Amino acid sequence: MKNKSVMCHNNTCKKLSLHCVFIVSFLFISMTVMIPGVSADIYKYVDEEGVLHLTNVPSIPNAKYILILKEKRVHFHSDIDVNKYDHIIAKAASKYKIDQALIKAVIKAESNFNHRAVSPVGAQGLMQLMPSTAYALQVDDVFQPENNIEGGVRYLRYLLNVYKGDLRLALAAYNAGETAVAKYGNNIPPFRETQNYIRRVLSYFDDFKK
């Protein structure tokens, strides 16, 4: 969720050496591979100050992005209990007037129902809340399923209200951030990661409604 990016500074060398870039990239990719249910295209670029940036949303004009990790679609697995949190989801769905199938679809796309999932850029829990978002939503323990789902569904309801019920725009903002949506005239940003995310959630939404 949100525009997830990190910066890596090296005070001893303004321009990062290829060795530094390799190490940081390797660690970043390794973290992603080890996290079940969290997938996205990951790009890197080095700015004019020699700072290495890693992001899943290549949104800066003229930046020379290099794809270092290609998105892998997450499929359903028989050992994943997709109904494990139904009682919590039902409660949040009723409170915020959101379809239970949609909530499950977002959880599926975000964490694959892994309540301890942590993305390479810090998004946490079932609905992959960024620390700043969790703080704003007053989510005390993001790894506690009920707290995370309550916060994530509350945020999704907020976005649906902002975009007047437009589910695609709400999902785009959930993934890339409201700023990215606003930047493109309140349209879906032309980011492959965001567009794939929307398609994935909608596909899961249909599956869970059956």
In the numeric block, which tokens belong to residue 166? Answer: 């437009």
Q: Per-residue confidence at 25, pLDDT binned at 50, 70, 90?
A: very low
| Residue 18 contacts residue 26 (beta carbons within 8 Å) | no
Does residue 146 have an active-site annotation?
no
pTM above 0.75, yes or no: no
Which residue in 153, 167, 163 sits closest to 199, CA to CA?
Answer: 167
In the numeric block, which tokens belong to residue 36? Answer: 């079940």
- Which entry of 110, 150, 178, 193 is annotated as an active-site residue? 110
Residue with tokens 């945020």: 155
Q: What is the DSSP letter of 91?
A: H
| Residue 38 contacts residue 72 (beta carbons within 8 Å) | no
Residue 14 clears pLDDT 70, i.e. is over it: no
Residues 147-203 pLDDT 10s? 999 999 999 999 999 999 999 999 999 999 999 999 999 999 999 999 999 999 999
Q: Which CATH class is domain 86-209?
A: mainly alpha
In the numeric block, which tokens belong to residue 107? Answer: 């959880």
Give me the torsion for CA of 16, 24, 37, 90, rounded to 10°. -70
* Structural domain spans, the chain: 5-69, 86-209
Residues 70-104 pLDDT 10s? 554 444 445 789 999 999 999 999 999 999 999 99
Q: Per-residue confidence at 6, pLDDT binned at 50, 70, 90?
A: very low
